[in-house]
Structure 1
């Protein structure tokens, strides 16, 4: 294993593996490599680890999750608990169940309210009740979906492609088709399609733009039970950071990579923006895939021309706008559930009309779909979420993709000083007011009780996460819908993880791709091993947590844990 000598900033000049970016995918991969005894360096350009799973604080009273809205499959043998268990940190994260019996997601349209419970059978019953005239079509869809869910689960526990084809010949035919094609096949109405695909905000695409397998995988993930990590999303991130560092790895925040070094077709390390070069025979990029291929690796200098062209031509999934709201009062009685509100029974038609209006006259003054996530209901009484008697929630909606919508020629990665641009500010104000208006239609008046409101746009996301075009969902097309790259690349020693790879969107998807990458590198079925109780590394090396343990401080890495600028909760 490499040791190397120390250079500027205390970094060694060589490691066994370098992880570029510290989203959940990178944290999982890096943690498992460190637990195997590899000397791992994780580099993060932001102030804190976590990627879209990180949190931020305001007014010393409120902590807002950026993208950790809820998690699925967190029971004793669930996906994320299993991945944590393999690193010895399962007991460091407690998962709080949402209302899995009555409904963890509430879908609202003008003519229907659907409360989504845990379990495929219960979910199917609710769909039939909401769509009595389409019960046979619902059954057809559920039959297809549950068969594909079984394929997804079997692949996770180690079945090869050949084994999957033998065990699930019919379902395998649907792995390359879209959700839209499945809905067409089952003959569902516009309303039926809307109720089934209402939570499209979990992957950022209308039915024709997402693979059926991905939709099923995410649905199955939540139907195994919906949860939220106690203490917020940063608590989950911090557990992975603790594992990485306890097993000898290093996390360096505010440390940006300029390029990934490649010589003779293999990765050899990275160069930082300050010019320092660090060598390693393994590089795992948790950066945006297009940025990895086209910028960090130099495009055709490292990859086949066809792959580079496909990556240049790739389109991205929907961009989003998020409004973070705090109130000095509790919300009226609500279930412990997210709300997915749709202003039309035809979600796809409403989305197309929104894009048409914008293309015609640039208007964006109405909201056709809105998602609402309530941190103060998911983790009631949490010290960091909000003071007692207050509320903390997030509003989220799709918006047209691209910089033109915001009146700027480029984004933060291009050095564009967008934050004072008058067109950008006007658009941001317009959408904020429209989203708050819509939320008051759903929740009742609350504006007079607002103590903090803040809006994040795709440019905000690009600034902090460096996601391509600001979308947290990755690529929509990469040489075809539902086609995405694998974790292993054409460059020897270079792997990719994150929202763009074939394991799908969301925390569950990126955690899966992280353990898949580590499994490829180590030549072991790590998830299957962790599922049976195998723990890599020595869990006795994990640090004790002091009474004032702060997951946000932990997520800055040991080198910057006490650096100035960390927001606290008073």
Structure 2
């Protein structure tokens, strides 16, 4: 009875609970100041940015940096940390730890460093990006740009793409209605209102919701940084919803929000088109995450000169300066643990005999699913609170990639640096649901409902000089892993005629759809390569061809689940980085790497970085005055 009365009193006076909680947090914070562990060295102890040097285009010189093949003799002695996977989350954590004086070994299963930052070069003389297609928040004054500069010695030059960074194309490809997404918030709104003159009120309400939902992102990340027990209290009591509105809007889908605003299906398609960047159809997607992504590109989009491999090319020397290495063709088959269940090392699988390597900190950038279901001993993995959540969330969408090499320049082909998001039907939910229900033998018989079309050659000013007279298109569409699962155990390039026939059919269908959008490319395609979900397993180390790690559905963004996916796991010595810690996307995984390094170094690296940035800006202003 007493407890019931207390609960009733709190329910009628929620402010009492909040005041009590804030008092508790104050006392807890005070205890941390008194008893906290000594922080590690600050990686932002100086400005690491240098004047940008000439682009290195010599293939051998580049390979010497990003294709250092693993051998036991190349493994440094007395390692502080081992990172599994050289995607951006892993490279960021490794670079920051290296700048703090740690010796770090990064192990990559592919034949070049960079994860999704790597580039694919064909024997016919074409180059393609594979995972980094466009990046927001990379303007000169953006914090993300500053962080990237610190990781790369300021050697990656980010080129602004066209004003219309994305164009939504709806309907039949050769007669598609096109809607441009242009940089600048006011310009973006103005363009939408020009195209939808009867829906001004709905557009204004949508943009307001985008802003409100986006502002809660810091609250979501806070849940991953503060002590786990404190996050659990915040989630269980509902106090988290008083501190951030992120989870409130995560409980609503994109379709639900848009249905409340308008009946115009064409407008709804235009406002939700970007779901392909996270792989969840609008009726299942968290509105908060969608809002964050829309805001991410509002000030325009950028692409690295020289292609995404420039990023790894300039991070490798940062890691090597502290005695570390990034070694490729080094598939990690096991995370080693001791009798107490602490992660103490990894096993690298080799045909000449497996190699065990030890370090104090083990950082996995291989994804939560790979880490807990395949790398850790089952008796250790199953004790983690993350283990049951991996299946509860499930894998993200898988995809098909088509690489098209064209004989002709960007200008001759009519290509621009802006992307095209093509939808055959403005009812995206309905069209994609129907598509996912197809049998594999029917895929590509009719036009595909979604195509993301990007031209790396048009985005990179160095491309025409490196590959004169040529241009490229990269085309991505979503797919079901089950369509190709029967070939998962077959050797790459030896999967048989049936598999190749399906790829050829899909590739030819996509070419015809692209010709409808880019008529000048007809009869100019000299290279076509099709990658399927099982191709992704081989090159990206996925298990079901997944594009974005764990699914970015609503379940993932529930506060009680989001708080669990943090850099420091409940397995001593094991840390996570990458898109399962934060979300998908280049900038997001950079911050995952920063938070991972923060946890290991026991210091708030975000504060350290912001202080350095403030000092750098102040110094630049001072020099300008002089």
Question: Normalization by structure 1: what TM-score?
Answer: 0.83
Give yes or no for contact 2:281–2:429 (8 Å, CA) kept in 1: yes
Instruction: From 135, 156, 159, give the equivalent of 1:71.
Output: 135
Residue of structure 1 equivalent to 2:453: 372
> Which of the numbers 212, 220, 237 marks the counterpart of 1:147?
212
Separation in 2, partners of 1:153, 1:312: 26
1:107 aligns with 2:168: yes
Aligned residue number for residue 124 of structure 1: 189
TM superposition shift of 1:16 = 0.9
**Quick one: distance in 1 between partners of 2:152 and 2:524?**
43
Partner of 1:202: 277
What is the match of residue 397 of structure 2? 318
CA contact (8 A) 1:23 1:52 kept: yes
Distance 2:330 2:189 in 1: 48
Contact 1:315–1:477 (Cα < 8 Å) also in 2: no
Q: Distance in 2 between matches of 1:478 and 1:206?
A: 9
Q: Does 1:434 align with 2:514?
A: no
**Are 2:427 and 1:346 equivalent residues in the alignment?**
yes
Q: 1:424 aligns with which of 479, 499, 507?
A: 499
Identify the residue that residue 550 of structure 2 maps to in structure 1: 475
Instruction: Give the Å deviation of 1:72.
Output: 0.9
Q: Within 2, Cα distance between the matches of 1:247 and 1:117?
A: 43
Partner of 1:22: 86
- 1:542 maps to none
Structure with the greater relative contact order (CA < 8 A, sep ≥ 6): 1 or 2? Answer: 1
Match of 1:268 among 344, 347, 370: 344
Instruction: Find the aligned partners of 1:306 and 1:153 in 2 and give their Cα distance.
Output: 24
CA distance in 2, matches of 1:457, 1:425: 11
Structure 1 residue aligned with 2:8: none
Alpha-carbon separation, structure 2, partners of 1:347 and 1:420: 33
Hey, what's the Cα distance between the residues in 2 that align with 1:243 and 1:534? 19
Q: Deviations over 1:299-350 (max 9, x none)?
A: 3433427642332454222211111112121244444311111111111211
- SS of the residue aligned with 2:179? strand
Question: What stretches of structure 1 of length at least 5 have no aligned partner?
Answer: 2-6, 536-570
Offset, 1:131 = 2.8
Aligned counterparts of 1:15 and 1:317: Cα–Cα separation in 2: 33
For residues 344 and 492 of structure 1, the distance between their equivalents in structure 2, rounded to whole angstroms, comes to 50
2:418 equivalent among 325, 333, 337: 337
Matching of residues 115-194 of structure 1 within 5 Å:
115-152=180-217, 169-170=244-245, 173-187=248-262, 189-194=264-269
TM-score (norm 2): 0.76
Is 2:160 the partner of 1:97? Answer: yes
Q: Distance in 2 between matches of 1:153 and 1:76?
A: 22
In structure 1, which of residues 382, 391, 395 is the aligned counterpart of residue 471 of structure 2? 391
Contact residue 284 and residue 553 of structure 2 kept, 8 A: no
**Aligned counterparts of 2:327 and 2:601: Cα–Cα separation in 1:** 24
Question: Structure 1 CA distance, aligned partners of 2:78 and 2:314?
Answer: 26
5+ long unaligned stretches in structure 2 = 1-39, 41-70, 615-626
Task: Measure the CA separation in 2 of the matches of 1:451 and 1:306.
Answer: 51
Say what the alpha-carbon RMSD is for the aligned residues.
Answer: 2.9
- Paired residue total: 519
More helix, by proportion: 2
- 1:520 aligned onto 2:599: yes
Report the CA distance shift for 1:25/1:207 in structure 2 as closer, same or farther (over 3 A): same
Secondary structure (helix, strand or coil) at the match of 1:433 reads: helix
